[in-house]
Amino acid sequence: MNTLAATQLVAAREIRAKLRDRTFLLSTLIFLLIAAAATTLPSLLSDGPATVAATPEVSAELRAAGLEVREVPDDAAAERAVRDGDTDAAVVAGPTVLAREEAPADVVAALSVEPPVRLLNPTPAEPPGAVLVPFVFAFVFLLTSQTFGVQIAQSIIEEKQTRIVEILVAAVSVRALLLGKMIAGTVLALGQIALVALVAVVGLRLFGDSELLNLLGPAIGWFLPYFLLGFVLIAALWAAAGALVSRLEDIGTVAMPVQLVVMIPFFGVIFLSDNAFAMQVLSYVPFSAPTAMPLRLFTGDAAGWEPPLSLALLLVTALAVLAAGARVYEGSLLRTNGNTSLRTAWRERETVD
Amino acid sequence: MASVMNMLRLDGVDRSFGGRRVLQNVSFDAEAGRMTGFVGGNGAGKTTAMRIILGVLAADAGQVTWRGAPLTRAVRRRFGYMPEERGLYPKMAIREQLIYLARLHGMTASAAARNTDTLLERVGLADRGNDLLEKLSLGNQQRAQIVAALVPDPEVLVLDEPFSGLDPLAVDTVVDVLKERAAAGVPVLFSSHQLDVVERLCDDLVIISAGTIRAAGSRTQLRATHTSPRYELVVENDAGWLRDHPGVTLVELEGARAVFELPRGADEQPVLHAALARGPVRGFQPVVPSLAEIFREVAL
């Protein structure tokens, strides 16, 4: 059996264990509910078109504007309908629009004439909320990589704490063990996101803004490779962090630096998103590239050759951290009676190939 | 007979931890088809030596070979190992994790399942296969741990203190299973500090103390080389005269019964004649020294 087969076995076990974990199932369910609610509730809760009371002379014009019209015999009846709350508004002679507290924008628009507008430098129309899209992606990446990263570290520590690790490394290479865990984490993270995305897309198609959906398509296309490599990078960091401690209680001591490495670039991107130069730099730094480059692509600031270059940088860094993580893992594996310093773990490479 | 082709051999293995020498020029063999007991006090280096055999630790110098070839990961994958620090997945069903471990050793899914079921039956855990490990009593967890070492049908078995934590009944079961494996041609190397169990079980013996091998060989051979011939004599009255008999070293004397040693190669018959000349002799026989005595002799 080669490393590949061993890696597959390890990954399959991790995935199976996770799919039986109640906490994981519950959190997935909650994400799905949130996605469903966020995409369907706004349109379900909105009131729909305004109702207008009007005499037969103007009712056709209002109906043509998509309003719900109730015909009344005269202006007095129309005013009564508004006062009693039977309709949102009324149109009486003048024409004058009657309403209770606020001027009803859609009724006013239906009766107004818009002057023609000629744009000299048009930009593609963006539906409201489009600006937020890359930030939502960035946040999803942050949340997922942190959640699943911690779980990779926990799984490594658990094997050390329960001592089964000695049986495992006697049978398979440390690299297979580490890689299997990272693959399992990546598959689960992507699976969870895909499921949430599916629910969101279906929700938007059925109830929401399909224009927003069209904008999301290409953005997701770029987000995926960045998510994948960015996740591998962060997973490798967490694996190395997990290898340094031997008890789950001690995970906090190594979690902080890893969290900072992920959080600082994230907030850097959020706060510097208007600074073109800073964003260009951040879109190449491997730790911020997964959030910065998709944002630049989304706003159209990045040239076509830029994403492949930054992806390559990200890949190289991820592989380097993976190799370093494996070495640290090997060096600290059997030191199950205390935490290992990074330097000791690096030097004391134990298992033999 | 003993050829390098059916041996697990350690050859000149050294290992230090931060300047402290834990193993020094350790060489010994575990022969296929034989039970080799690895005996030594706490901290003598047993666990370190076994970890080096399994490649969990690297040796500073020396090498380990099986059938004459240095060990690689592919070869070690066919070894069964029970580490001193026990552990399996607490929140995983026993049967499932045993199958997983067998498959990590290169078995097919169906062979792994078959072996798991046979062995669980054998150690009396057949009806617990779907229970999580943590639901089992400590004794039963130990049984599962032994199955974990046996389940990949290993070519070589290395067991670090396999009997500690087992109740007497389980010890018997495990002894039987290990003897079967040895009879099937597997070298079984096991460490223990329970010398009575080792005595009952082993064909060969390796004694380690402070990181160096003090004695190694078959049990009978070790007895012959490391202890003097010893006899028990029971006479009618008082056996105290033996003290002054030439060549005799008294080990024990209780009235009419005495245990004594003679120099190696000396004839015991003159002592018997002397006893008969003094009166009736109720008993005269050689005494086989216990393993504990051999151990004291060579390790201290």
Say whether both A187 and A312 belong to one domain.
Answer: yes
Domains B4-224 and B227-299 share a fold: no
Q: Give the neighbor-by-neighbor strand order of the sheet with A51-54.
A: A68-71, A51-54, A89-92, A96-99
- Looking at the domain assignment, is residue A59 inside a domain? yes
To the nearest 10 degrees (0 to 180), the angle between helices A133-161 and A174-207 is 150
Say whether both A64 and A182 belong to one domain.
Answer: no
Say whether both A164 and A27 belong to one domain.
Answer: yes
* Architecture in CATH of B4-224: 3-Layer(aba) Sandwich (3.40)
Q: Which two tokens stand for residue A74?
A: 């005269």
- Residues of the domain holding A93: 51-103
Q: Which two tokens stand for residue A70?
A: 């109730």
Contacts with A, B 46-105, CB within 8 Å: 51, 54-58, 72-73, 76-77, 79, 81, 83, 85-92, 100-101, 103-105
Structural domains in chain A (count): 2
**pLDDT of A327 higher than 70:** yes
Contact between B76 and A169 using a beta-carbon 8 Å cutoff: no
Residue A30 C-alpha, separation from nearest chain B C-alpha, in angstroms: 24
- Looking at the domain assignment, is residue A62 inside a domain? yes
**pLDDT of B166 higher than 90:** no
**pLDDT of A321 higher than 60:** yes
Q: Which two tokens stand for residue A316?
A: 């190289």
pLDDT in tens, B193-233: 878 888 888 999 999 999 999 989 888 888 777 777 889 99
Say whether both A307 and A164 belong to one domain.
Answer: yes
Contact between B81 and A166 using a beta-carbon 8 Å cutoff: yes
- What whole-number distance in Å separates Cα of residue B51 and Cα of residue B66? 15
Say whether both A154 and A61 belong to one domain.
Answer: no
A269 contacts A301 by C-beta, under 8 angstroms: no
Residues of A in contact with B104 (CB under 8 A): 1, 6, 9-10, 168, 171-172
Q: Does domain B227-299 have CATH number 1.25.40?
A: no
Say whether both A60 and A78 belong to one domain.
Answer: yes
3-state secondary structure of B234: strand
Query: From the list A1, A162, A170, which residue is nearest B89 (CB)?
Result: A162
Say whether both A225 and A196 belong to one domain.
Answer: yes
3-state secondary structure of A124: coil
This prediction has a pTM of 0.78
Say whether both A23 and A66 belong to one domain.
Answer: no
Unique residue bearing structure tokens 């004594």: B260
- Nearest-Å Rg of the Cα atoms of chain A is 29
- Looking at the domain assignment, is residue A97 inside a domain? yes
The larger pLDDT score, comparing residue B221 to residue B15, is at: B15
Say whether both A32 and A98 belong to one domain.
Answer: no
Say whether both A179 and A321 belong to one domain.
Answer: yes
Instruction: Give A56-103 as a 3 state SS string.
Output: HHHHHHHHHCCCEEEECCCHHHHHHHHHCCCCCEEEECCCEEEECCCC
Query: From the list B54, B55, B103, which residue is nearest A9 (CB)?
Result: B103
Residue-averaged pLDDT of chain B: 89
Residue B135 C-alpha, separation from nearest chain A C-alpha, in angstroms: 15
**ipTM of this predicted structure:** 0.82
pLDDT in tens, B39-54: 988 888 999 999 999 9
Sequence ranges of the domains in chain B: 4-224, 227-299
